[in-house]
Amino acid sequence: MNGDDTAAPSAPPPPPLEWKFSQVFGERAAGEEVQEVDIISAIEFDKSGDHLATGDRGGRVVLFERTDTKDHGGSRRDLERMDYPIRHPEFRYKTEFQSHEPEFDYLKSLEIEEKINKIRWCQTANGALFLLSTNDKTIKFWKVQEKKVKKISEMNLDPSKAVGNGSVASSSNSTSPKPYLANGGSPDRSYSYLSNDFSFPPGGIPSLRLPTVVSSPETSLVARCRRVYAHAHDYHINSISNNSDGETFISADDLRINLWNLEISNQSFNIVDVKPANMEDLTEVITSAEFHPTHCNMLAYSSSKGSIRLNDLRQSALCDSHSKLFEEQEAPGSRSFFTEIIASISDIKFSKDGRFILSRDYMTLKLWDINMDAGPVSTFQVHEYLRPKLCDLYENDSIFDKFECCLSGDGMRVATGSYSNLFRVFGCAPGSTEATTLEASKNPMRRQVQTPSRPSRSLSSITRVVRRGADSPGVDANGNSFDFTTKLLHLAWHPSENSIACAAANSLYMYYA
């Protein structure tokens, strides 16, 4: 995965990982109905892996923080050196906030739903967390910070010396059993501030008595929307991606990609525009876009025709002409009615070092080397047993489901979701035959059957591996009946450890290996 010379003797591939259940948040009881607004629609780890964010169809963003590293401090490597027992990543609920609300576009008579399409973490500063979240039309920049809770300390009024109206104000540490109302009044009529026998004490009231406000040692998390980036997209936003320069980000819809500065919300630059002069000439749309992880001038975007374009912002301000095009040539005689639909790429991700791009279309995962545009380095069949069922999937619209994909931090493995709440993990190191099927449940290996891999075939010194599961048409890879209604669309791999977070409807499952 790191581009070493192929002539050198290659190390044996790492053994397949054994995945174990770690945690579940929002687990539903058997037979419990899932509310539409609670279904998770986005998952993202931050760069450190210490925080995890999820977005749902109700427009909420929920944050989780890691707890297992706080107890004893030190990095994982340091703890291994100390022979400290390593525990798997554990997270706890941190906070949640309402990111987006349903809106209505009166000019277009269009409802804009609150569903969170994507979340991206930004650089932290001064102990505060920053993140971008977007629905179909509006991107928001959030700051989440711990603030000290301010409390009213005990009043400096001595109730025993109070007269008239003063007697209704109690010291906060008073043991008096009398109930007092919010405005300082008392339900006891004899203490009513409407009493006509109110009188000033002889010599008048010596001083004005006020409570004092002090900061307590307690803290609360406050999420504040810092900026709103709106009115820049005519079509639904499908991607946002922050730049490695820490100052800019892109947002992509079906036909355009815009470049924003985080500090400027009322202006963006259109850098990709695939809209034809005549909309009848439209042949493809943008499906996903992402900045290169280290080169701030490079970005990639995928299309509904199964191609990936790599663009260089240094070449021109408008990146309509790509610097590289990655697409796989269609095998002669393989074309069918569904060919173009299943070729559409739903998600792309760069590897951590930026050398590879992982793409997910309906049937496969493909790994591309950015230095080699002849074809993918590896192709992984996710659910080949569905091919005979494409007609049914088209009828119930499942063929248009958009599955996400992710790479491990070391670039040795890739993962993506499927139906029946299953997800697949493939090894992409040279010679690896790892192809694991897991279920999003407390027993992830329940459906596990080691599926045979096809032998790899070598093309002009480049190994292209195709891996697939069983081909029985009526069942899934492991002989179980198939459920199109439960699909695992969203998942994320921890940036530095073998830990995966995935969403099954409204439940967030976490696994480690």
Per-range mean pLDDT, top range of 86-100, 243-257, 451-465: 243-257
The residues with which 95 forms a beta bridge, in sequence order, are 63
Q: How far apart are CA 261 and CA 223, in angstroms?
A: 21
Is the separation of the CB atoms in 197 and 203 below 8 Å? no
Q: What is the mean pLDDT of residues 339-363?
A: 95
Q: What is the mean pLDDT of residues 130-155?
A: 88
Q: How far apart are CA 469 and CA 189, in angstroms?
A: 80
Task: Name every residue whose Cβ is closer than 8 Å to that of residue 60 and which is 6 or more positions away in sequence.
Answer: 96, 97, 98, 99, 116
Mean pLDDT of all residues in the chain?
82
User: How, if at all, do strands 40-45 and 60-66 pair?
Assistant: unpaired
At 43, is the secondary structure helix, strand, or coil?
A: strand
Q: What are phi and psi of 41, to 5 degrees?
A: -120, 0
pTM (two decimals):
0.79
Q: What is the mean pLDDT of residues 278-290?
A: 94
Q: How far apart are CA 299 and CA 301, in angstroms?
A: 7
pLDDT band at residue 32 using 50, 70 and 90 as cut-offs: confident
| pLDDT beyond 70 at 268 | yes
The continuous run of DSSP H or E covering 342 comes out as helix 339-343
Question: Strand runs (DSSP E) across 370-456, as ranges?
Answer: 378-381, 405-407, 413-417, 422-427, 435-439
pLDDT tens across 204-228, in order? 666 666 777 777 777 888 999 999 9
pLDDT at 42: 97
Is the separation of the CB atoms in 251 and 237 below 8 Å? yes
The residues with which 317 forms a beta bridge, in sequence order, are none
pLDDT at 255: 96
Q: What is the mean pLDDT of residues 299-324?
A: 90
